[in-house]
Amino acid sequence: ASPPVPPASVTLRLLQINVFYNASSTDMQGMALLGDLETHSLDCSTCELRFLQPWAQQGLTPKQWQDLELVIHHVRPHPPALPVPDPFFTQGSLGCELHPNGTSRGFYDSGLNSEDFISFDPDAGKWVARRGDKLALYARDLLNRDKGTAINIQFFLRTCVSQLESFVQYGNESLERQGEAGHHSLPCSHLWGTVCLLFTQGSRTQCSYAAISGWPGRLLIQRCLAWY
């Protein structure tokens, strides 16, 4: 039997932040969230998934985990592709949302230096610019020529809802405890010279960045509204 539809809307998100120091030096960190609950993290050097909940490995077969890691590898951007002054960082939010009436939506939004940049339209199978400047239009056209990445993203979005339902089934008690606690703050992540605190506010997630020693001066303490 299929897993029951959750009584309230719930979202499965893969969040990814890439820091580009220059054309040959990058760092990346990622996490997966079921609702507001952090379930997985991503090793920056190997793209190896780490399971942060006792049930987090359940619900997907070893082959499905392997396919997911391949998707993550293939959607990582390449620093020389964007004519942006170094250093800069990109953010990605890939996932799906399931509503109590059984409807769902998939999404992949990408930001540049904490601002809306481009998004993937699952129905059209194409990237769309979130702003009208030349850089966003250039990135849109560049990515739309990369058919392999589009296929990988569409594959993930097609299977996302079944993965979400499975995680809700196995992690229901953890989700209920999270809701009872009323605690919507996610753990601090040390992102290569930055400390990032993510916390949910309604349907959006706010992200505060503060620089620590060694981070380029022009990126010192900034606060950003992310589109997560």
pTM exceeds 0.85: no
Arithmetic mean of pLDDT, 193-211: 42
Question: Quick one: pLDDT band at residue 49, thresholds 50, 70, 90?
Answer: confident
**Which residues have C-beta within 8 Å of that of residue 122, sequence separation ≥ 6?**
106, 107, 108, 153, 154, 157
Q: Select the more confidently predicted residue: 159 or 1.
A: 159
Q: Are 165 and 156 in contact (CB under 8 A)?
A: no
Show the beta-strand stretches assigned E in 35-176.
37-42, 49-51, 88-98, 104-112, 115-121, 126-129
Question: Taking 50 as the threshold, does the pLDDT of residue 22 lie above it?
Answer: yes
Question: Taking 90 as the threshold, does the pLDDT of residue 128 lie above it?
Answer: yes
Residue 76 has a CB neighbour count (10 Å cut-off) of 15
Show the beta-strand stretches assigned E in the chain.
10-22, 25-34, 37-42, 49-51, 88-98, 104-112, 115-121, 126-129, 189-190, 194-201, 204-211, 222-225
Share of the chain above pLDDT 90, in %: 18
**Which residues have C-beta within 8 Å of that of residue 146, sequence separation ≥ 6?**
none
pLDDT in tens, 59-110: 677 787 777 776 666 555 444 467 777 778 888 889 999 998 889 999 999 9
Q: Select the more confidently predicted residue: 188 or 110.
A: 110
Angle, to 10 degrees, between the axis of helix 147-170 and the axis of helix 172-181? 80
Nearest to 84 by CA among 6, 149, 2, 22: 22
Pick the CATH number of 10-181 from 2.40.10.220, 3.30.390.50, 3.30.500.10, 1.10.760.10: 3.30.500.10
| CA distances from residue 183 to 87, 90, 209, 221, 225 in whole angstroms, order as listed | 34, 27, 20, 25, 19
**Which residues have C-beta within 8 Å of that of residue 9, sequence separation ≥ 6?**
97, 98, 99, 100
User: Could you give the CA distance from residue 19 to residue 36 in angstroms, rounded to a whole number?
Assistant: 24
What residue ranges do the domains of the chain occupy? 10-181
User: Could you give the CA distance from residue 8 to residue 162 in angstroms, rounded to a whole number?
Assistant: 16
Weakest mean pLDDT among 15-29, 96-110, 211-225: 211-225
**pLDDT the model gives residue 141:** 93
